[in-house]
Structure 1
Amino acid sequence: MVLKGLLWVWTPHPHQYAYRSMRTTTMQLAHLIHEVEHNRNHYFQVSLPKKSGIGNQLHYRPHRTLLVLVDFSKAFDSIDHRVLSRLLANIPGVNCRGWLRNFLFGRYAMTRVGRRHGDRRPMLRGVPQGSVLGPYLFSLYVHPLLNLLNSFAGVTADMYADDLSIIVKGQSREDAIPTTNMVLEKLHACSQENGLAINPSKCKAAWFTLSTHTESDYDREGKWPLVVAGCQIPVMTMGASRTTKLLGMDLDPRLTLNVAASKQCAATSQRISQPRCIAHKEAGPSPHDLRTFVIGYGASKLRYGSELIWAVATDSAKNEMQKTHATLARIVSGVPSTVDPESALLEANMPRSTSFACARGSQYLRTHAHVRWTGCGDPRLSHHLAPVSASRRYLGTSYMPS
């Protein structure tokens, strides 16, 4: 009842993807892909010397994107009740404010060892763990922070619960890093005022680009360090041995999600070995129970983010996912490995892997992609392509939700 009253007078920030109906983790990932692809379709001019060494030549380059993942230490336990009380004062409704204040204030904590009890201490920070209101109060607490970060030009900030991601558009590192350092400095100051502590050791960054030979995409001499709370953040770029992970999805520098698809197939293969040991044995489960187990335990790994992988991944990654899904079908149906994947899926009464991606992608388009995306093409092209429909834009590699 209290939560309904709160949501009646207050709406969570549109860039907060957690604790909201019709919002998922993959939607935040889809927004990241949209921002990166939108920046790639926005070109700028650069004058470079000719190969002959005589004069300069005008070139066109797409904008780059810098992603910074910020981690807060014990975010839910660091909420200052005094700051939250000031935010609640701006919410309309006397009864709703009174209910929320009664929920927060007047709480005490004590320790017990055996039959001995410690002194009562008032709880001046944090929200009750496991409560229904706790996540929404945290979303209300960081609402001004998201407003601040999204007010900077060329900067977009998203949150899923307490996981903050900052997207910065730039022509080069020399352009994007100073802007990001300024934003991180404002973030650090605002976090200290509100009692939130940034954990620099868990902060990561990624530099998304398509080129492998552009020297401005690298900082080999360390001229442009990315700093937050006095500590330097490593930036992943082309040739990096490790990838940056956002909401369980591995992000490669080109943002094709090929690495994510390969790792999901590897994780599914580990799960495949478990039901394979008990499949088609005299004392094993019935085919119906085995099918339910395989779909829920094995195929669930492949379904996570499948609509994004099928939108931007290469054909090799998609084929690998299809082969893994067909292996699950062969375990259920008991057909040999020589049977083609379509027949194995038919025998197992399992849908194709693309059907999950199409269903989830069409649901996203119906609920969120109401604004038509219009990209700025390469200025060197003398003709313009006709806009692609929403369904074709999803099924192709140019799926960029608005």
Structure 2
Amino acid sequence: MVDAISTALHSALTHLDKKDSYVRMLFIDFSSAFNTIIPQQLTQKLVQLGLNTSLCNWLLDFLTGRPQAVRVGSNTSSTIILNMGAPQGCVLSPLLFTLLTHDCTPSHSSNLFIKFADDTTVVGLISKRDEADYRSEVSRLAVWCRDNNLSLNVEKTKEIVVDFRRAHTQHAPLTINGASVERVGSTKFLGVHITEDLSWTNNTTALAKKSQQRLYFLRKLRRARAPAPIMYTFYRGTIESILTSCITVWFGACNASCQKTLQRIVKAAERII
């Protein structure tokens, strides 16, 4: 996950150093991505990748003919047989989806596809206001999604334009399948808040707010006279894990004020423990 975020940001920042350049980042949302996998289509791609035929047949057998029922209290629905999709919560499902989308690659060198499980981000490195390659790439991706039975949710798909030029013009909206993609100033990318000015104030504010809520429970443990080792374990698992989430991506670039905000939370936790 950190590698995916770092790759996207490094590519964007490197390109922004060039004259008359800006970056468009498209954060794609798929509707029930794992549920739309067609097992036969997946196994065909696995064969093309050189996987053993026996292994491909085993995966096909695993994904087809799966009985499923719903139980609510003492009531159980009738059983249906599923022959599409990958089981939710199965550790194999993200890997199978990754293999299914291995041939979803950019056709232009000025574009990047950042993929992590069912999250896909298109990074368009625009120079001299020429967006032809970026727009054709997005259109091509929409066709690929249709051919591979993936439902691209345009309403939840967001776009950020990073443009530091002094005299930048209004950017024309992007359309997918006839619908306009919403342009936002900030969005969440693999758990990290990305903004159009590539600052980290929104991200650190969100982390601080979430961590401060956990401090309440740490104080409750203190009032209950919980041993220090237990409180420290609680801190490591519920507060420090939040503060250090993808920290190598953003901490070095956030301003002193944001760093102090996070450090105050750490010191507050130390005083409680």
Q: Structures share a fold, TM > 0.5?
A: yes
Question: What does residue range 8-27 of structure 1 map to in structure 2 within 5 Å?
Answer: 25-27=1-3
Between the aligned partners of 2:96 and 2:142, the Cα distance in structure 1 is: 21
Q: Is the 8 A contact 2:193 2:203 kept in 1?
A: yes
Show the counterpart of 1:131.
90
Higher relative contact order (CA 8 A, sep 6+): 2
Show the counterpart of 2:246.
305
Taking a change above 3 Å as real, the CA distance of residues 85 and 294 of structure 1, as seen in their structure-2 partners, is: closer
Show the counterpart of 1:162.
118
How far is 1:166 from its partner?
0.5
SS of alignment partner, residue 121 of structure 2: strand
Partner letter of residue 72 of structure 1? F
Is it true that 1:214 corresponds to 2:167 in the alignment? yes
Partner letter of residue 180 of structure 2? Q
Match of 1:64 among 14, 18, 22: 22
TM-score by length of 2: 0.89
Taking a change above 3 Å as real, the CA distance of residues 295 and 103 of structure 1, as seen in their structure-2 partners, is: closer
Partner letter of residue 116 of structure 2? Y
Question: What does residue range 67-216 of structure 1 map to in structure 2 within 5 Å?
Answer: 67-90=25-48, 91-109=50-68, 114=75, 117=78, 121=81, 123-145=82-104, 147=105, 149=106, 151-171=107-127, 174-176=129-131, 178-211=132-165, 213-216=166-169
TM-score by length of 1: 0.62
The CA deviation string for residues 125-158 of structure 1, in whole angstroms up to 9 with x for no partner, is 212233343222211111111x3x2x32200001
The size of the alignment, in residue pairs, is 270
Match of 2:216 among 260, 273, 277: 273
Between the aligned partners of 2:92 and 2:206, the Cα distance in structure 1 is: 36
Q: Is the 8 A contact 2:40 2:60 kept in 1?
A: no
The runs of 5 or more residues in structure 1 that have no matched partner are 1-24, 44-60, 333-402
Question: What does residue range 255-294 of structure 1 map to in structure 2 within 5 Å?
Answer: 255-279=198-222, 281=223, 283-294=224-235
Between the aligned partners of 2:246 and 2:90, the Cα distance in structure 1 is: 29
Identity across the alignment (%): 22
How far is 1:33 from its partner?
1.6
Kindly name which structure, 1 or 2, has the bigger radius of gyration based on alpha carbons.
1
Partner letter of residue 133 of structure 1? L
Partner letter of residue 74 of structure 1? S
Bigger shift: residues 151-160 or 94-103: 94-103
SS of alignment partner, residue 200 of structure 1: coil
Between the aligned partners of 2:212 and 2:60, the Cα distance in structure 1 is: 50
Taking a change above 3 Å as real, the CA distance of residues 296 and 85 of structure 1, as seen in their structure-2 partners, is: closer
RMSD of aligned C-alpha atoms? Answer: 2.3
Partner letter of residue 156 of structure 1? L
Is it true that 1:230 corresponds to 2:178 in the alignment? yes
